[in-house]
């Protein structure tokens, strides 16, 4: 029930969680999407990311995004346009977590 409510809230906010990169990249189409996303990547500030995206669906109930990214000093926030759509993502510990901004 919680996940259903959270998904509805996220859609109301104009965003959709696409997934973690290792899942997205399992198909040829997903790999192509990821390659394009990374090639078009523009790093952004944490503030810009959080104004656009609510990352709560990847966090533990009492966790904040700083905690989630704390183990990797090279963590980053980014956005990218792929096929005319705007995607936001955060990169940490070798993974990208990707959202579509509607």
* pLDDT reading at 4 higher than 80: no
The 8 Å CB, 24+ separation contacts for 39-44 are 40/80, 40/81, 40/82, 41/78, 41/79, 41/80, 42/78, 42/79, 42/80, 43/76, 43/77, 43/78, 44/77, 44/78, 44/79, 44/88
- Give me the mean pLDDT over the 68-91 stretch: 94
CB within 8 A of 33, min separation 6: which ones? Answer: 24, 82
Report domain extents, the chain. 2-101
* pLDDT reading at 6 higher than 70: no
* pLDDT reading at 7 higher than 80: no
Average pLDDT, the chain: 85
Output phi, psi for 89, to 5 deg: -155, 155
CB within 8 A of 41, min separation 6: which ones? Answer: 78, 79, 80
């Amino acid at each position: 029930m919680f996940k259903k409510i959270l998904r509805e809230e996220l859609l109301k906010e104009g965003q959709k969680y696409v997934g973690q990169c290792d899942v997205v990249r399992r198909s040829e189409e997903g790999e192509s999407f990821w390659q394009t996303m990374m090639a078009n990547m523009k790093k952004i500030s944490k503030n810009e990311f959080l104004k656009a995206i609510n990352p709560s669906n990847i966090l533990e109930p009492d966790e904040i995004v700083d905690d989630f990214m704390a183990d990797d000093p090279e963590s980053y926030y980014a956005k990218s346009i792929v096929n005319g759509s705007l995607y936001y993502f955060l990169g940490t510990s070798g993974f990208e977590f990707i959202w579509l901004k509607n």
